[in-house]
Amino acid sequence: MSDLLVRLYDLPVSEAEPRLAASGITIRRALPPERGLIATWVEQHFHSLWASEVAVAMSQHPMTTWVAVKDGELLGFACHDATAKGFFGPTGVAESARGQGVGEALLLATLRGMREAGYAYAVIGDPGPVAFYLKRLDAMVIPKSSPGIYRGMLRPAAPSPANTD
């Protein structure tokens, strides 16, 4: 899937953030003591490749990872500067928390973080649900960017027939 380019000097205001705040959902930068918990959560809810990426984002100072939290429970995460400098992602919301604006709020909070860190543009690498990004962002597809930086990347092997029990 081709990468997307986002103008960080032209970000929309999040419609979801005030609504989430009123319902007790906080969107904020992750804290270093949360690093292990977040990495485990990402691996359990998504997969090991994303856990590796978020581990890199959580190794920066300040951490380039944002979280959505309600009543001490992690609902979602988003990060930047993981696979490459200037890249947004990965991001993910727990299935049970989807459809209420958490993904949008994490996306816009993280992109604002990138703008504050001095970037003028963000790249959304291998974006997956492009329609989700294009709902709120006036992003453009970067020509000839697939597979882009991920070309030749090692991936976990599919289980062999002998190990599928």
Ligand X SMILES: CC(C)(COP(=O)(O)OP(=O)(O)OC[C@H]1O[C@@H](n2cnc3c(N)ncnc32)[C@H](O)[C@@H]1OP(=O)(O)O)[C@@H](O)C(=O)NCCC(=O)NCCS
3-state secondary structure of 38: helix
Applying CB under 6 A, does 22 fall inside the site for ligand X? no
The tokens for 46 are 């998504």
Q: In whole angstroms, how close is the CB of 85 to ligand X at the nearest point?
A: 17
Closest approach, Cβ 46 to ligand X, in A, equals 6
Q: Distance between CA atoms of 61 and 75, rounded to whole angstroms?
A: 23
Q: What are phi and psi of 2, to 5 degrees?
A: -70, 150
The residue (of 47 and 163) whose beta carbon lies closer to ligand X is 47
Contacts with ligand X by CB under 6 A: the residue count is: 18
Sign of the dihedral defined by the CA atoms of residues 19, 105, 31, 55, in that order = positive
Q: Site map for ligand X, 71-110, x if CB under 6 A? A: ------------------xxxxx----xxxxxxx------
* Contact residue for ligand X among 128, 141, 145, 148 (CB under 6 A): 128
Sign of the CA dihedral running 144, 146, 148, 151: negative
Residues forming the site for ligand X (CB under 6 A): 16, 89-93, 98-104, 128-129, 131-132, 135
